Amino acid sequence: MESTSTFDLKKITAIVLILLVAVVSFTVIAPWAASPETHTHAIEQTEEKVGTVMTLSGGAAATSATLSLLPGDMCTPIAEQLAELATYFLVILSALYLEKFMITITGYVTFSFLIPLACLIFCAALIWDKKSFKVIAGKIALIGIVIYMIVPASVKLSDLIYDAQSDRIDGAITEYNELEIDGDSQDGFFNEFTTITTETVNRVTNFVGSLMESLAVMIVASCLVPILVFVLLIWMVKTVFGNPLSN
């Protein structure tokens, strides 16, 4: 009888502690994890990338518009390619804004819902002595941690790739700032008799090449890396909890 009461006391103590963890997660950790001040560095890095993408996207669109004003069809393929590159940069911009929002949202979802839910299920497992409930609670808790870690991990890897290739991106911005589209005409203005110089064509072509390199770097850093991090973490979860549930 004494051993039974001792066992019940241990179970009650464990349940109280787990419920306390749920309350602390919901009332303390969740507001901290969802606060922008907690993720100042990641948000600043993302905003810096947003500024770079907007500069390159605007440069591509502006150069395309300028080339489209020239007479003849010689610059039309370059103008169309620049316009297409500007569209791709907008896709990257959308991915960066999504990443910026997810930095705070994932922490709120994890510690406001998933961790408390896992704690409640684990308490139910202790009350009804269900091993399957414990496994479910563990899965929910681990999935919550994975969700919370996806964005910081992807931001860190993206920063490493971005820093390693920053010279290419800075070079593209410098080329755009120094780009001048010159034409040969009698009155000095673009008209139907204007012909673009070979030097200008070379400068624009080099700028397009730099844009494509920058675009490739940003696609890898801002789009592919978060997907690969997500797949890797999900694979880790499946590996850890690969066994079927048992009662």
Q: Which of 18-32, 42-56, 229-243 has the lowest mean pLDDT?
A: 229-243
Rounded CA gap, 127 and 206, in Å? 69
Q: Which of 200, 198, 196, 195 is nearest to 179 (CA)?
A: 200
**Between 5 and 204, residue with greater pLDDT:** 204
Which distant-in-sequence residues (6+ apart) come within 8 Å of 126 by Cβ?
11, 14, 15, 18
Q: Does the pLDDT at position 122 exceed 50?
A: yes
> Looking at the domain assignment, is residue 167 inside a domain?
yes
Measured between alpha carbons, how far is 122 from 19 in angstroms, rounded to an integer?
Answer: 10
For all residues of the chain together, what is the average pLDDT? 80
* Token pair belonging to 198: 């070979």
> Does the residue 201 lie in any domain?
yes
Average pLDDT estimate for 36-50? 86
174 within some domain: yes
Q: How much is the pLDDT for 115?
A: 94
116 against 172, higher pLDDT? 116
Is 203 part of a structural domain of the chain? yes
Residue 246 lies in a domain: no
Our count of domains for the chain comes to: 1
Instruction: Please compute the mean of the pLDDT values over residues 33-56 and round it to a whole number.
Output: 87
Q: Which domain, by its residues, includes 37?
A: 2-240
Whether the predicted pLDDT of 71 surpasses 70: no
142 lies in some domain: yes
Rounded distance between C-alpha atoms, residue 223 and residue 201, angstroms: 32
Give 164's pLDDT tier (boundaries 50, 70, 90): confident
Q: Is the pLDDT of residue 106 over 50?
A: yes
* Residue 245 forms part of a structural domain: no
% of the chain with per-residue pLDDT over 90: 14
pLDDT at 170 over 80: yes
Categorize the per-residue pLDDT at 192 as very low, low, confident or very high, splitting at 50, 70 and 90. Answer: very low
- pLDDT of 98 reads 86
CA distance 90 to 50: 10
- For residue 195, what pLDDT is reported? 53
pLDDT at 190: 45
Domain assignment present for 98: yes
Q: What is the mean pLDDT of residues 181-207?
A: 59
d(Cα 22, Cα 29) in Å, to the nearest integer? 10
How far is CA 14 from each of CA 136, 138, 226, rounded to the nearest angstrom? 18, 16, 37
Q: What is the 3-state secondary structure (H, E, C) of the chain?
A: CHHHHHHHHHHHHHHHHHHHHHHHHHHHHHHHHHCHHHHHHHHHHHHHHHHHHHHHHHHHHHHHHHHHCCCCCCCHHHHHHHHHHHHHHHHHHHHHHHHHHHHHHHHHHHHHHHHHHHHHHHHHHHHHCCHHHHHHHHHHHHHHHHHHHHHHHHHHHHHHHHHHCHHHHHHHHHHHHHCCCCEECCCCCCCCCCEECHHHHHHHHHHHHHHHHHHHHHHHHHHHHHHHHHHHHHHHHHHHCCCCCCC
